[in-house]
Structure 1
Amino acid sequence: MSGLRVIPTRRRGQDLLYVCGTDGRNVAWYDREAARVHLFSEDLRQDVLDALGPFLAGAVTVGPPPVPTAAELVRLALHPDDDLAPNRPGEALLIALDRDPGPAHRLRTDPRRRELAAEQTVGEALDGLEGGGWRTLHSIPLPGGDRVHHLVIGPGGLFAMYALAARRQRVVVTDPLVTTGRREPWPLLRRVRSDAARASYALTAEVRPALVLVEPARLDVTGPPREVRVLTPADVPALARLGGVLKPADVEALYAVARDRRTWGKG
């Protein structure tokens, strides 16, 4: 890969150097204090080392992000207010509807309820992966009021999923635009990719984007979207067959970090 950029960053009191690709995604980071280069993909080892060459002093260790020790995991013990694990699918919408249910005389269903039903459907499908060594978090808040609908972590890697209510509607995907029914096309895939990129930054790990369409009457995809998986809830169980990316200890370590609300403060 050419065109890698090195960006100095200070996080949690540490001076780090992030290596970004041409699309802005992090592909590695260098911890000067530990003299360690953390790779998200072993295939980019030489490209990353070439980009970091002017910044390296002496011998460095190169490899994937380390798994926290048992002592480090203990330090991750969370106050209940900071633990995102109890979040239900659509947690933010549930809270919003509880605070403001809307007028009782509405002739049409509140769109928030359709969105909630979609997130609950996807969440139920994702929770079914637990037996296969996967971990799921729902309704993760991001700075600025956005949120990741679902984050799933397992042997096949990490996925940030956006649930789209499409009941009985034709859906047309023309990257980056998505059209549902008679609505105007909107660049939803940019949002889906942005959610995954922000999660990658917060977790310092590769997070892949996915759009999950709930009950579409028909789906037309004009060419494979760049990087984004387009799924339905019925496709979710197939993720259990993916593997070879994370070991069980890696899954648990990333889950421990991801469930901490404070992780997402600068994501």
Structure 2
Amino acid sequence: MSGLRVVPAWRHGLERLYVCRPDGRNIAWYDREAGRVNLLSEELGQDVLAVLQPFITGPVTVGPPPVPSPAELARLSLHPDDDLAPNRPGEALLIALDRDPGPPRRLRPDPRRRALAAEQTVGDALDRLDGAGWHTLHSVPLPGGDRVHHLVIGPGGVYCVRSLYARRRRVVVTDPMVAVGRHEPRALLRGLRADADRASYALTAEVRPVLALAEPSALALTTPPREVRVVRDADLSELARTGGVLKPADVEGLHAVARDRRTWTRV
């Protein structure tokens, strides 16, 4: 009898089965998702496989733990309070509405709720790019109370995306002005370019601005926007077709830097 025991645990949202000595020290773990048994002590490899046998499903690779990449080391050392990756689309607005939901009845809808709906619509579309090698961070805080609605990092580069509520409304873009329905035009593209410049400074990488319209009825570009891409939320999947700008290691490295709240404190 080896005296080894199997202890299930969750790490980064995934289940792992740890193999422990009688004194409680870990000597191996089984990552079912990766199909790998990681050994900290190769001399006990046969004993580890014997005790894990009832839990193993399918073929497995056995060996020492893989050496973590610099991006993985940065993620592992990041304090949870400084990690922006768990932010939901519209995180800042969700917190603001939770603290101050406003009066129960209003003659006009709370503009924060429309802005939230836009960020959630656009954010959900961007999150669906994850399987294509992209990462999206939501509600990235900037000094002075500003924020980047969505920061997208992938093979096609880095994008600063601003959401705009336009449900069933015609949007007219005359750089730098944007008019939604009958509302007065606003110089949204000027602020979007400024956000992209700040993100570029923080990441020391080119960041391209994108204005994402949530459910517009029509879009008219009377003046081609300078450096800014204007898209409907339904067309955001086109970003996944772009590539050739960043290698996978560069994507992971930039994501590790961008998800750290401290990266954005001096921009």
TM > 0.5: yes
Query: Displacement of 1:248 after TM fit?
Result: 0.5
Q: 1:75 to 1:218 in 2, by over 3 A?
A: closer
Aligned length: 199
> Would the aligned equivalents of 2:175 and 2:189 in 1 still touch at CA under 8 Å?
yes
SS at match of 2:230: strand
Q: Residue by residue, what CA displacement relative to the aligned partner does 1:144-198 show, whole Å, maximum 9, x if unpaired?
A: 0000000000000000000000112121100000111121111100011111100
Counterpart CA distance in 1 for 2:210 and 2:189 is: 9
Q: Where do 1:1-267 residues align within 5 Å?
A: 70-71=69-70, 73-76=72-75, 77-267=77-267
Q: Give the counterpart letter for 1:82 in structure 2.
A: D
> Would the aligned equivalents of 2:166 and 2:215 in 1 still touch at CA under 8 Å?
yes
Unaligned ranges ≥5, structure 2? 1-67
Counterpart CA distance in 2 for 1:142 and 1:210 is: 17
Q: Residue by residue, what CA displacement relative to the aligned partner does 1:8-35 show, whole Å, maximum 9, x if unpaired?
A: xxxxxxxxxxxxxxxxxxxxxxxxxxxx
Q: Give the counterpart letter for 1:74 in structure 2.
A: L
Q: 1:72 to 1:116 in 2, by over 3 A?
A: closer
SS at match of 1:216: coil
> Would the aligned equivalents of 2:155 and 2:243 in 1 still touch at CA under 8 Å?
yes
Counterpart CA distance in 1 for 2:241 and 2:169 is: 30
Instruction: Detail structure 1 runs of 4+ shifted over 4 Å in the superposition.
Output: none
Counterpart CA distance in 2 for 1:75 and 1:119 is: 28
Q: Give the counterpart letter for 1:70 in structure 2.
A: S
> Would the aligned equivalents of 2:74 and 2:256 in 1 still touch at CA under 8 Å?
no
| Percent of matched pairs sharing the same residue | 71
Counterpart CA distance in 2 for 1:161 and 1:71 is: 27
SS at match of 1:222: strand
Computing the radius of gyration from Cα coordinates, the structure with the larger value is: 2
Counterpart CA distance in 1 for 2:209 and 2:136 is: 15
Paired position in structure 1 for 2:8: none
Q: Residue by residue, what CA displacement relative to the aligned partner does 1:50-108 show, whole Å, maximum 9, x if unpaired?
A: xxxxxxxxxxxxxxxxxxx9357524521111000000000000000000000002132
Q: Give the counterpart letter for 1:185 in structure 2.
A: P
Unaligned ranges ≥5, structure 1? 1-68
Query: Displacement of 1:117 after TM fit?
Result: 0.5
* More deviation, 250-259/179-188: 179-188
SS at match of 2:199: helix
Paired position in structure 1 for 2:44: none
Counterpart CA distance in 1 for 2:71 and 2:123 is: 29
Counterpart CA distance in 2 for 1:72 and 1:234 is: 31
Query: Displacement of 1:118 after TM fit?
Result: 0.4
Q: 1:75 to 1:216 in 2, by over 3 A?
A: closer
SS at match of 1:196: helix
Q: Give the counterpart letter for 2:94 in structure 1.
A: L
Query: Displacement of 1:237 after TM fit?
Result: 0.7
Counterpart CA distance in 2 for 1:169 and 1:194 is: 26
SS at match of 2:265: helix
Q: Residue by residue, what CA displacement relative to the aligned partner does 1:97-134 show, whole Å, maximum 9, x if unpaired?
A: 00000000213221100100100000000011001000
SS at match of 2:162: strand
* More deviation, 212-221/239-248: 212-221
Q: Residue by residue, what CA displacement relative to the aligned partner does 1:239-264 show, whole Å, maximum 9, x if unpaired?
A: 11100000100000000000000000
SS at match of 2:223: coil
Query: Displacement of 1:219 after TM fit?
Result: 1.2
Counterpart CA distance in 2 for 1:216 and 1:72 is: 38
TM-score normalised by length of structure 2: 0.72
Report the aligned-residue RMSD.
1.3
SS at match of 2:109: coil
